[in-house]
Chains A and B, each alone.
Chain A
């Protein structure tokens, strides 16, 4: 992998995803031929690494289980070190549609935003959340609206692309558990901008979501606390002169 101008790395965090990760890598390579795909294996106990390598991905194997945030941040750190300009994260469970990657990359390059979110709720894509999940997403939309200064339709989306400026920030500071919502607040602290683009969402190919009914309560409390702590860290000195805050 030798990155240059407009270089893109696609990272796929995966934990025990041997059933899905091969298909995910192949679908990305079919759409983005020549773009390196890096699977970050969060110390899976199944054949995730072998399947990913066989499908044509590079693998970053973590020595022990770090959780989603630590896993994604490892990918961001490596991408930053290697000099990549853009990184797009695609989950290893097969829910994200690789066909949306080119539009996300285009938005990253042309919008001037530091982050582009693949949203399930912008436009019509046929995806319907369960009742509890939909309520949770609605709740966090309300919480984030005044903090971010603009509405965000899909704050829990894991399908995100970032440019090098955001990559630098996330290499140093990235939420370790349930990172999506807190990451938005971390970006806002730096007065960075984000844009949502419509994306398709598929049902999981294999396995189950880690957020069960019981864990969803912990999730809400944890994320709320994380958001609150990040708001406390807001620092006006990080405001960049001459740049619009929230276009």
Chain B
């Protein structure tokens, strides 16, 4: 159990570091880094709080406390995937509307040019 918790501590530390570096290099926008940072911090705290894990496992009826951590990770990632799906859908809608608007504006511009040429 200790070895698994140690691995999770290192993993969450690396995740924190990776996200912070990505934000600093502008690979991830700040608003999208918040979920990752919160998830990594929660993972770090839980993996170092044996008492909290054991209490939570007892409440959930789990005999193996690190399972609580895995359930938390799964839940957090599901929520994040959902959030990203919402963001992606909005981006796609905006992208289509922008492409259509651009095409229509180009069409109007072309018509104006032709009108001027014919005048």
- Residues of A with C-beta under 8 A to B111: 1
- Residues of A with C-beta under 8 A to B104: 60, 74, 77-78, 81
Q: Is the Cβ of B107 less than 8 Å from the Cβ of A70?
A: no
Query: Chain A, 60-101, contact with B by CB distance < 8 Å: what is the 0/1 string?
Result: 111110100010011001100100000000000000000000
Question: A81–B103 Cα gap in the complex (Å)?
Answer: 13
Query: Chain B, 51-89, contact with A by CB distance < 8 Å: what is the 0/1 string?
Result: 000000000000000000000000000000000000000
- Residues of A with C-beta under 8 A to B106: 61
Q: Is the Cβ of B107 less than 8 Å from the Cβ of A66?
A: no
Q: Is the Cβ of B107 less than 8 Å from the Cβ of A78?
A: yes
Question: A66–B111 Cα gap in the complex (Å)?
Answer: 23
Residue of A nearest to B101 (CB): A77
Q: Is the Cβ of A176 less than 8 Å from the Cβ of B96?
A: yes
Question: A81–B106 Cα gap in the complex (Å)?
Answer: 14
**Number of inter-chain CB pairs below 8 Å:** 31
Per the 8 Å Cβ criterion, residues 21-68 of A in contact with B are 58, 60-64, 66
Task: Identify the interface centre among A73, A74, A77: most chain B CB within 10 Å of its CB.
Answer: A74
**What class of interface size applies to chain A in its complex with B?**
10 to 19
Q: Is B99 engaged at the interface, CB distance under 8 Å to the other chain?
A: yes
Question: A182–B60 Cα gap in the complex (Å)?
Answer: 45
Query: Chain B, 89-117, contact with A by CB distance < 8 Å: what is the 0/1 string?
Result: 00000001001101110110001000000
Q: Is the Cβ of B103 less than 8 Å from the Cβ of A70?
A: no
- Residues of B with C-beta under 8 A to A61: 103, 106
- Residues of A with C-beta under 8 A to B96: 66, 70, 176
Q: Is the Cβ of A73 less than 8 Å from the Cβ of B100?
A: yes
Q: Which of A60, A64, A73, A176 contacts B107 (CB 8 A)?
A: A60
- Residues of B with C-beta under 8 A to A176: 96
B positions within 8 Å CB-CB of A: 96, 99-100, 102-104, 106-107, 111
Q: A70-B96, A78-B107 are in contact. List 8 more A-B contacts (CB 8 A).
A: A58-B107, A64-B99, A66-B96, A66-B99, A70-B99, A73-B100, A74-B99, A176-B96
